[in-house]
Structures are given as structure tokens and as C-alpha cells.
Amino acid sequence: MNPALIRVELPAHLRTLAQVGAEVTLRVDGQVTIRSVIDALEASYPALNGTVRDHVTQLRRPFVRFFACGQDLSHESPDAPLPEAVASGAEPLLIVGAIAGG
Amino acid sequence: MADEKVRVLVGTRKGAFVLTSDAKREKWDISGPHFAGWEIYHLKGSPVDPNRLYASQSTGWFGQLIQRSDDGGKTWAPVNNKFTYDGVPGTHQWYDGTPHPWEFKRVWHLEPSLTDPETVYAGIEDAALFRSSDGGQSWHELSGLRKHGSGPHWQPGAGGMCLHTVILDPSDSGRIFIAISAAGAFRSDDGGETWRPINKGLRSAQIPDPTAEVGHCVHHIAMHPSRPGVLFMQKHWDVMRSDDAGDSWHEVSGNLPTDFGFAIDVHAHEPETLYVVPIKSDSEHYPLDGKLRVYRSRTGGNDWEPLTKGLPQSDCYVNVLRDAMAVDSLDSCGVYFGTTGGQVYASADSGDSWAPIVRDLPAVLSVEVQTLS
């Protein structure tokens, strides 16, 4: 099976940091999950290491959210399969900075 | 002197700014914001390679980054941002006295080595000292500090349990001073392997034992490089002095109108001339009577004079944070400080007169100065 090509949309600060546009395309081997997508994101853009999930705990940062297909997937297990539309590349996984702060 | 210039590195709540001027320090070029929208707790240049800068960049959304510049701040590249405590981190005390696990939060201060541009120290929250020997590509904790024995009793100050001050002794490569809110000051004499508290003489009425070995809310420490055994401290309350490398301290608040404050620094050429910015109190973080006054002592403390020329003397309610004061080393020593109101003030005459370089930056967290030739 060919690795999936996953679309990921990044928040503005992380686009600046990774020097990319709003959306990046990642090649993900195996099951498409939050964990495997972020593994691929960090491997392709090392500047993003530790910015979406904590280096040590590997947990999502509290003010980061994962949306896709109109659903909030932030509280799903990082090892749960992402929706088929994301896995097929039809829909992007949205990494969102929470509305907070000043 | 004609070819000399100064570069002021300003960290703010919403980015970094680089201010440059010739030796007259009258006209300034302002570059920034760099890392727009991010908190820049501190940025500082290497004394041996002034084009090598390190910056601490963070937000509550995306955590901590470390940036490095090799061209004096024109361009930057992120380096390693992984700060992992050595071994099982254990616990310190929480505000309520209960044990609380050590957790990395952010880098407060970056102190480049005096001899090697690839080596830099990072003071972090929750309090620990890290070192990189490869230009920030990897970080390793000097865990003898956190593990020397008193760590489980350290408590955070109101701003968090931060290691905010790192001073390297130019006469002794093994000697390092650090300070933690609210644990106190510590010294290593073996390059950071082993540590001991140096808080004898400090008195803090806010803790159960006012003269305890640890638990003092040290806000900042300054040293003149020609006399590394003499230290000046702005404690939560009290301005203190040590003449024996921190083995003992005595108060030099003297005639200050209030001895609460954060920033303290020493004149570049006069080791007995020091500067503080008195702040009203621990519950009112702004200048007394709405007057922004730097106080200067030319006698190593105790006798202080207010410096007001060019500074607002009414309705001023900004704060000056602990890392937000610095001096240059031009013949006529320049003194600089930034405020939480976004002003960066400069004096080209040792504090006699002041003028704002810029008035409307985001809240200033840190100010460092490089004197370039």
C-alpha cells in the first residue's frame, strides 16, 4: 500500500516558524492517526518539534486543537484512526491555536 | 570611539527589537518586531562573537523555542528547544506547601559563555540550569543545582519558580552564580557540577524563618567584571551587597524611598556605582508617587541619589522588570532600561539625563546591550 498523503493546515505562527504556507502535505506510513501525522510533521519540519505537543509528555499542548471534517478531535486518543476523508487526503487536518490570550 | 556603536537587544511580550546607534547614542535605528507575536523573555549576544545571539521565544500556545543568529540579529534560525530534566525530576513545594512535580515551562535567561560562542547557559522555569556546548543544538541540565539537597523545599514566587539570573565569573571559569525566585542565590565553584546556597545575611519577613538558608525571593544580582567577588542584589525587598562572593550579605538600601524593585546593574567603569529602580511595593508594581526615578549610588550602596532628568515625574505607573536594565561600555557609560509600558530609556552620561529611544513597544521583558567596535 502506498503511504497516504495527508493535508495539514497550520496556524499562522507555525507557518512562519516552518516557513511554509497555510497547508502542508505529509507522507504518512501506516495508520493515519494524530500521532502518526504529527510524527510526520515534526520529521518534515524540525522547527515545529515540541510546538504542537510537549516534548516530554507527548501530549497535545493545552491551547492547541485538532479539527477535521467539522469535528473537534482534540480529545480523541492520539492513536485513534483519523476520518477516512483525512486519510485519503480529501479533507485537511486542522491544527488550530485556541482563541485565548491577549 | 568614532567607529564604536551600540546594539540594544530588547525582548518584549510580543517580539524582539534591535536598536542600534553610533557612540553618540542620539539617533537610533529600530529593527523589529522579530518573532512577532511571541514572548521574548531574553536575548543576549556572545561576548567573544558579538554577531552570535541567542533568544528565548515562547507562547502559551506553542511552548518554548530557542533562536540563534549568526549575523547580529538580521536573520535567525531555530535551534533545539528540548529541555529535559536529568533523571526523575522529583518535586518542589507548590504555593500551598504541597509537593509538586518539576515541570518545564520556559526559558527566562540565556547567558552566553565568556570564552566560547558555542556555549550558552539557560535558566529555566521550573528552576534549573541547562548548558549547551554546541550552539544550542542540544541542552543538558547541570542537575547538581536542583539535586544539591534543598530543591524539594523551593517554592515559586508570584512569577513562577524561575531561574532568572546567571552570572559567570570572568576571573574563574569554574565559578557560576545563579538566582531563583523564590529559593535564593546559589554558587558553583566547579563549573556547575556542585552547588551551595549563598543566602547568609538575607532577611525575608515573608517566610517562616526570615533567615532561612533557602526560600528568599531574590529578584536579580549584578556584578562588575573587574571585581567578581563583589555582588549587588535586588531582593524582593532590600538591596543587598556581598564582598565575599555571596558567602555573606549586608543591606545597602540606605536612603532609598522604597527598597522593593527588580532591576539592578553596575556602571561599566566604576565598580562602586550602581543603579536600581525603586518600585512602590510587592502589591503595587509601579514607581512611588507616579515618578519614574532611577537611583544611583556612587558609594557601593547606602547613599543614593534620584536620577530624574528626562524621565516622567508624574502619572507614571509602569514597572521595570528584573532583566530589563543594562549598561554599555563606551567611555561615557550608557545606561538603559525598558518598562512594562513599552518605553526603552537610554542615558549616555551614566544616568545624569535620559531620553526614550522608543516609546510604544509591547511590554519590555529584557534589555541587553552590546558595545561594538
Q: Is residue A40 part of a domain?
A: yes
Of A51, A55, A56, the CB nearest to B62: A51
Number of folded domains that form chain A? 1
Residue B269 neighbours by CB distance under 10 Å: 15
pLDDT of residue B74: 93
Which of B61, B83, B84 is the closest to A97 by Cβ? Answer: B61
pLDDT digits 0-9 by tens, B176-233: 999 999 999 999 999 999 999 999 999 999 888 999 999 999 999 999 999 999 999 9
pLDDT at residue A64, rounded to an integer: 96
Chain A residues with beta carbon closer than 8 angstroms to that of B60: 63, 100-101
Contact A17 B78 (CB under 8 A): yes
d(CA B332, CA B343): 22
A13, part of any domain: yes
**pLDDT at B301 (0 to 100):** 98
Q: pLDDT above 70 covers what percent of chain B?
A: 99
Q: How many CA atoms lie within 13 A of B30 on its CB side?
A: 15
Please state the ipTM of this predicted complex: 0.92
A13, A54, A98: residue with CB nearest B37: A13
pTM above 0.90, yes or no: yes
CATH of the domain at B273: 2.130.10.10
For residue B304, what are the domain limits?
A: 5-372
Q: Is residue A102 part of a domain?
A: no
- How far apart, in whole angstroms, are the C-alpha atoms of residue B337 and residue B259? 18
Query: Chain B: nearest CA to A76, how far in angstroms?
Result: 19
Under an 8 A CB cutoff, do B61 and A98 touch?
Answer: yes
CATH of the domain at A85: 3.10.20.30
Residue A71 belongs to domain spanning: 4-97
Above 80 in pLDDT, residue B134? yes
B60, B63, B83: residue with CB nearest A101 = B60
Q: Do B63 and A54 touch (CB under 8 A)?
A: yes
Mean pLDDT of chain A: 94
Q: What is the domain count for chain B? A: 1
Nearest Cα of chain A lies from the Cα of B348 at a distance, in angstroms, of 35
CA distance A61 to chain B (A): 7
Local structure of A7: helix, strand or coil: strand
